[in-house]
Amino acid sequence: MSAHVVFEAAVVRMVAAGAVDRARVTEVDGGEVLRVHAAPGDGAVVLRTTPDEPVAGARVHCVVDGADVVCLDESLRPLPVTVIPEHADVFDRVRGVFETDILRDRAVAVLGLGSGGSVVVRELARSGVGRFLLVDHDRLEVGNVCRHECGLADVGRLKTNAVRELILDRNPDAEVTTLDLRISSETVDELTAAIKAAGVDVVVCATDNRESRLLVNRLCVLAGLPALFAGVFRRAYGGQVLRYLPGLTPCYQCFVSAVPAMANDREIASAEQAHRIAYSDRPVAVEPGLAADIAPIALMMAKLTTQELLAGTATTLASLNEDLVAPLYLWLNRREAETDYAALPPMATGVDTMSVLRWYGIDLPRDIHCPACGTPAVEGVEPTADLDTSDFRA
Ligand SMILES: [Zn+2]
């Protein structure tokens, strides 16, 4: 047998400490790779077994001596061993850009774990963000897979749980709290409590309907929390990212008032919306659009989130703060017919004119009469008055 034995770092630690001396061994690639897992309370020596039944007569003997692991096959020949590194080593390549331990203690709430939210989570986990609150009510469907970070193996599962595993596969030390909840006026108090309990630093709002975004917006205004709101235009011909910094930038409600056309140009996210815009008896697909067209918006969300989490620390990314000063960012994937951008000149090789496939920072005024963030000094305006979302539901 020529197996390669892969140990989880935690197993080595537990075995060395005498906390476990028997672990479960999973065979991968027809037994070429043996992966060793353990949990406190497991039994004696490491045996080669499948998860369900022991493989008789084919034992692997492993000895953990301090940081060293030695494994022998049944003929007592040594086997190659890999120990999965711990947090500090996993993020070795990120070190030098910023101190990864800074992000280890930062917490991000990601609301909506669809094709955009799951990509934001993946990027933040890979950067070393250590604490997540994941909120979604949905289960992964076959139709999601071509654009989602999770694949067919996760179909039928709650997106929260599937995405949680995605994080732990990159950062085994991450703390991930999940909340299976549909964001509505009935559940917003529960969401607020969870965000408070998780000590969230930044809220990433990647939900697919405006009512939830307005509720999240109000929550963040009241809590004084920075937030990012993503929007993907229909068929993902482009999208925008709104960055809300309490007291400094317009909020999502201000944005909706200032540029209603952009705010209305939404991706088709539900069967009901698809039915409404259908121009024939032929059904319109929900959320048509390529993952590659959604990715730029998700990556911008991840970048802005990271800048926010690193605020006030010395990093090589600090110069970006001078670039990323706009409250609103626009990205166009193509010159979509029947839009304001249809007549743009082709990108070609110039840099003088607006074109597709580039980010644009857009200034946006705060609305002093905004029902969510407007100043209370304005006559007759309560800053936290109930939002009128009726016209957005139509
Ligand atoms: Zn506002």
Distance 214 CA to ligand 1 centre (A): 10
Ion ligand 1: residues, Cβ under 5 Å: 251, 253-254, 370, 372-373
Closest CA to 144 of 166, 115, 119, 116: 115
Domains, the chain, in order of start with CATH, read: 4-84 (no CATH), 100-362 (3.40.50.720)
* pLDDT tens-place values along the chain, 394 residues long: 567 888 877 777 777 776 666 667 777 777 778 787 765 544 434 444 444 444 434 567 777 776 677 887 778 888 888 887 765 566 766 666 666 678 999 999 999 999 999 999 999 999 999 999 999 999 999 988 999 999 998 999 999 999 999 998 888 789 999 999 999 999 999 999 999 999 999 999 999 888 999 999 999 999 999 999 998 988 899 999 999 999 999 999 999 998 888 777 665 555 555 555 444 455 445 556 889 999 999 999 999 999 999 998 888 888 999 999 999 999 999 999 988 899 999 998 988 889 999 999 999 989 989 999 986 544 444 444 444 433 333 2
In whole angstroms, give the CA distance from residue 308 to residue 347.
31
Distance 301 CA to ligand 1 centre (A): 20
Distance 138 CA to ligand 1 centre (A): 29
Q: Which residues pair with 27 in a beta bridge?
A: 34
Distance 205 CA to ligand 1 centre (A): 16
153-175 in b/e burial notation, b at 16+ Cβ within 10 A?
Answer: ebbeebbbbbbbebbeebbeebe
Distance 72 CA to ligand 1 centre (A): 65
3-state class (DSSP) for residue 362: strand
The DSSP line for 272-305 is HHHHHH-SSSSPPPSS---HHHHHHHHHHHHHHH
In whole angstroms, give the CA distance from residue 11 to residue 357.
47
pTM above 0.85, yes or no: no
In whole angstroms, give the CA distance from residue 327 to residue 359.
13
Closest CA to 309 of 104, 113, 126, 171: 104
pLDDT digits (tens, 9 = 90+) for 170-189: 887 899 999 999 999 999 99
Distance 124 CA to ligand 1 centre (A): 27
